Amino acid sequence: MKQVAVLTSGGDAPGMNAAIRAVIRCGIGKGWGMYGVRKGFSGLISGNIYPMGTRDVGGIIHKGGTILGSARCEDFYSEPGRRKAIRTLRQIGIDALVVIGGNGSQTGNYQLHQLGFPVVGIASTIDNDLCGSEITIGVDTALNIALEAIDRLKVTASSHQRAFLIEVMGRNCGYIALMSGIAGGAEYILIPEVEADPEQVAESLSLAYEHGKAHAIIVVAEGAKYNAEALINYFEKHKDRLGFKIRATILGHVQRGGAPGAFDRLLASRLGNGAIEAIDRGEFGVLVGLNKGQITTTPLEEVIGKTKEISQAMVELAHVLD
């Protein structure tokens, strides 16, 4: 009988709990012993690992965050720390580890794999910057939270004839900004992948005002060169020509905390099952993701240290629609 442990690491994402639930229940369905690791990789080193049954993951599929918790672990950055983690796993009798998380988490996962421990990763990050999966757990929910905020702020902007700069999360990936900006009808979208000129943004605002628009919405990715703060500082020097009064709203971590929507619950369930199936096949050192509608595996060495490219077709569509 296999013994399999699961942990969550890095930033929380809506749907992580659904993935935990799927891993535990699908593993139990095969007759395996299933374990949860508290507080990410630090739990591996400290031995914060405990058995989990079907009822331990009952009533969590709709909850945001992660019941296993997540924490930074300085010791894990060193090889002696990682070897200690492996010793802990082997002392308990764990045969394989499932890591649910994004780039940093899968880098740590790969390092365990390099030291000879069987691992499988599940793609989970709201940034959607992880190679090996077209979309990752948490993205759809975070995107809808951003879109709802844009829709609400547009109402206020129209009431007061203002322009709003709305900064969304995504680190150095502009996916959430690009997609929520298109879906929200933004006048301008700024993302890290495309060079932006604040003067062009100012001209766009001036033009919208001259055309009699009651509002203007600018969506900005947090990793863009000109984020909300930088644009506000620039516009302060040119406020007489803009027409609109400018306000900035930074959504921040509110995008992470929502209850997962249907898409993320289904995606997490499929990826969790995919991880168990990969272990059953003896396929290790891979990331389980979604590609062309199918659950796939990609070697971790092809995933880590790389940046997913933004869709140029969607960038061009945003320019046409603004």
pLDDT at residue number 196: 86
pLDDT at 157: 83
DSSP 124: B
pTM of the model: 0.93
Report the pLDDT value the prediction gives residue 272, as an integer from 0 to 100. Answer: 98
Per-residue model confidence (pLDDT) at position 239: 67
Cβ neighbours around 82 below 10 Å, total: 22
- Strands (DSSP E) contained in the chain are 3-8, 33-37, 49-51, 96-101, 119-123, 162-168, 188-190, 216-221, 245-250, 286-291, 294-299
- 127 included as an active-site residue: yes
Burial of 259 (0-12, 13-18, 19+ CB in 10 A): middle
Q: 249, 153 in Cβ contact below 8 A?
A: yes
Dihedral over alpha carbons 201, 202, 207, 209 (to 10 degrees): 120
d(CA 144, CA 76): 34
Could you state, in chain order, the average pLDDT of each consecutive group of 10 residues for the chain (322 residues)?
A: 94 96 98 96 94 96 94 87 95 97 94 97 96 96 95 88 89 93 93 89 82 86 89 79 82 87 98 98 98 97 91 92 82
Which CA distances in Å does 190 have to 28, 98, 135, 170?
A: 46, 36, 21, 12
Distances in Å between the alpha carbon of 272 and those of 5, 129, 247?
A: 12, 20, 42
Look at residue 56 in the predicted model and tell me its pLDDT. Answer: 96
pLDDT of residue 131: 96
Q: Which domains does the chain have, with CATH numbers?
A: 3-138+260-302 (3.40.50.450), 140-256 (3.40.50.460)
Nearest-CA neighbor of 278 among 82, 113, 125, 89?
Answer: 113
Burial label, 139 (beta-carbon count in 10 A; 0-12, 13-18, 19+): buried
Of 127, 129, 140, 264, the active-site residue reads 127
Q: What is the pLDDT of residue 255?
A: 87
